[in-house]
Structure 1
Amino acid sequence: MDAEDLLAAEFEEHRERLTAVAHRLLGSRAEAEDAVQEAWLRVSRADSSEVDNFAGWLTTIVARVSLNQLRSRTTRREEPLDDGPHLHAVPDPADEAVLADSVGLALLAVLDTLTPAERLAFVLHDLFDVPFEEIAPIVDRSPAAARQLASRARRRVRGAEPKDDTARKREVVTAFLAASKDGDFGALLELLHPEAVLRYDTAAAQMGSAEDLRGADAVARFLSGKARAARLVLVDGAPGWVWSLRGEPQVVFAFTIDDDLVTGIEIIGDKERVSGFAIESLPQR
């Protein structure tokens, strides 16, 4: 078996997964198969002798081909209607049923509302565990920007699913606490609104806290790794954090959340205000 036959055989071993990736990106089995075939043509003409991660390399090529197709769709939708007839693929109901079964109805409905880059970042990362470092060059972004693309898409998907508003806010505050404890700067950025503000009352400021902070980057840098002693609680029924000393609450972190993003954090150290809160412990993760 010569080198070309070996390459073809190895490609065939990955074809099923590559088709699954393209199918979820494009929403059409026929288009997915075309994308995989186009990927094979590119692979057959490329030098793969120095490729360390063959599966990852193939996924990247299929993703690039699929992204081009998604962008082509967007361009066609923006063309004026009087420029002539337009051909649009008619979805196969059976094909849509298979895809809906594999990714969920809410996700299927919202995928078409995403930009091509958002769709690719979300599908590759959330459905196929592709690292943002590998997604970034595909969409011509930095890893942090690719993470933001997936985060925006994820919020759209969550918004399509009916869920109690309090429960959703609790999920955000819980995730924010975990990211702060772990020092996960990227995860903190995902959960913060770009114009997020962190404020202190006078008592908290006198404890040695920094001045008020504005912007997701500044807030994330300050809180990264800083909440190891904080606990997840309900503060007057709203999810928040508390820092205690010998079992007595000393500082409360109150969150303002809009569209699943933290837009504001108030750090409250005034003893009278803190003692007036109804603080209820929640299971810690």
Structure 2
Amino acid sequence: MDSGNERLTEAVLGERRHLVNLAYRMLGSPAEAEDAVQEAYARWYALAPARRQEVAAPGAWLTTVVSRVCLDVLGSARVRRERYVGEWLPEPLPDRTEWFGGGAAGSADPADRITLDESVGMAFLVVLESMTPAERVVFVLHDVFRYPFPEIAAIVDRTPAACRQLASSGRGRVRAARVPSARRVPSAGRVPSAGRAGQAGQAGVVRDFREAWEAKDIAALIGLLDPAATMVADGGGLVGAVLRPVEGGEHIARYLVLMAEKAPGLTLLERTVNGSPGLVAQRDGVTATVAALDLADGRITRIWAVRNPEKLARWS
């Protein structure tokens, strides 16, 4: 292999982490993200060597293919999720740094964009699920990875003006979701970072919550939950899970204690879930539930409990 081909191969393979990060935010599934990236690489290597040499920006070429694959996957996923049993949640991520970086295009001030680690938070991913496929792809490309609208227009085969409108619509969905982070999102769509101090405080609340749950202390659980808290569980029809959101701190506390009584022998572990403190429930070393938590003002406002075993393979 000559030096030119070697440099091209290194450049192409060096895009993988960025592409997987991009695809995960678009799809909410690590497995689907990896499949989308694999498809892009398959198409790249299906090109004749001379054609590959003609591509001025292999990274941009791969980004275009991955984004278009994700658009197709999102379109079919909407149909599949209409038949899904109960609530559908994104697949939770363990604390693996490859999902929290990957580089963003452009050189915008970091204060004016959603940071990569925040963009894998469960609250943010759930909001992305409410977007149309085109909104989601454009929003992720522009507001998270900072691609300019003219480049996005070429990727999604729309005008720059149409892409601006799609991104604006996506920001509107973020604001309308009214999760604690979204309530602090300015018009540009930025989600502020909790910082190390905030993470430490959240970890303390999660620790108290775990201890109260293990003790089946309803009063303590109610004190740690926001009165308007919501819990959503995803069992996918494969394991038992409440099919509709449980609303209200007291209702959630009583439900959790009831579940603890019906499922003895669970071990609760404090773990990082999608970049934030969360809980993992295991039985005999096998993960049964991964719970991502959202907090505001020292109380838990939302719980996303993923129980579908097909989404927990990375946790066992």
What TM-score, normalized by structure 1, do the two folds share? 0.49
**Could you say which structure has the greater relative contact order, defined with CA pairs below 8 angstroms and 6 or more residues apart?**
2
What TM-score, normalized by structure 2, do the two folds share? 0.44
